[in-house]
Amino acid sequence: TNNDLETALSESQEAMILLEQYAPENLQLHFRCQTVLTSAYTRLYKQNEPSLALYEHPVILQNVFERCRLYYMQALDSVYNAELELALQQLQEAYKIAEQSNNLLMQLRITQLQATIFEQLQHYKEAFDMMKRLEQLKETFNNSKLNSNLLAFSIKNNLKEMQNRANLDSLSGVYNRYYLEERASTLLTDAALYSEQICCIVFDVDNFKHINDTYGHLIGDKVIKMLGQACKETLTDTDALIARYGGDEFV
């Protein structure tokens, strides 16, 4: 409605003032705001003359997505003003950019609008062609979205594994000193906050240097491994934290 357009025009003008005051360097926000302002003005006053300033804006020259989005918005304005042939020309330009940049989401939006316009113009063959293209794009988009989700899941799992490996002492199989210090800080803070108690046991292996000197470091390593395993088997409480502090020292 005209009331909505007047509100959009007024609010975009206010936004431009705020941008100049608080974010003058953010060219993309300036451009987005300017396109909304231009669109509201175009629809309100039934003028479909795209502002040359928009096409010469630095963001447009550097960002293909914003150039595609501008053509798409201009096409929406043309549809609003019943200039359907002009809208098709603008959508054609938008689609070229979206296709070149492999932007499937924009290709879907553009094709859907093209199909609607061709149907309004009673160009049913072209509308049918657009619907076929739309189905192909949807299938491609869904497959790519699935692949993207699978990739994100794989990356997430790999990061979790890497984080777990980074927190574990490779020799003893229990947590390392880094994780102990990080976790202990949280435990002590929470204990103080909730008036809870923490039991801390610090121990080492008696005469560990003698074991290494007498039987060799490979046997010494085996002792550390067995000790780590014994700790895990003994302290089965889920709240228990077992870590190797260093050498033969455990917490």
How far is residue 48's CA from residue 77's CA, in Å, rounded to a whole number? 7
Q: Cβ neighbours of residue 94 under 8 Å, at least 6 residues apart?
A: 68, 69, 71, 72, 75, 106, 110
Q: How confident is the model at residue 251 (pLDDT cuts 50, 70, 90)?
A: very high
Average pLDDT over residues 128-138: 88
Contact 19, 36 (CB under 8 A): no
- pLDDT of 55 reads 55
Q: Hey, what's the torsion of the CAs at 215, 218, 222, 224, to 10 degrees? A: 90
Q: What is the pLDDT of residues 43-85, one digit of tens each?
A: 666 655 555 455 555 655 567 777 888 888 888 888 888 889 9
**What pLDDT, on the 0 to 100 scale, is given for residue 58?**
60
> Taking 80 as the threshold, does the pLDDT of residue 174 lie above it?
yes
- Rounded-to-integer distance, Cα 68 and Cα 63, Å: 9
Query: Is-contact 124 89, C-beta < 8 A?
Result: no
Average pLDDT over residues 89-104: 91
Residue 134 has pLDDT above 80, yes or no: yes
CB 71 within 8 A of CB 97: yes
Model confidence over 233-249: pLDDT tens digits? 998 877 789 999 989 99
Q: What is the mean pLDDT of residues 109-131?
A: 89
pLDDT digits (tens, 9 = 90+) for 203-237: 999 999 999 999 999 999 999 999 999 999 998 87
pLDDT of residue 224: 95
What's the pLDDT score for residue 211?
Answer: 93
Rg (CA), the chain: 32
Nearest 5°: phi and psi at 203? -150, 165
First and final C-alpha spacing in the chain: 70
Tell me whether strands 249-250 and 244-246 are parallel, antiparallel or unpaired. antiparallel
Residues ≥6 apart with Cβ < 8 Å to 122: none
Q: What is the mean pLDDT of residues 121-137?
A: 88
Please provide the DSSP assignment of 59-90 as one string.
HHHH-HHHHHHHHHHHHHHHHHTT-HHHHHHH
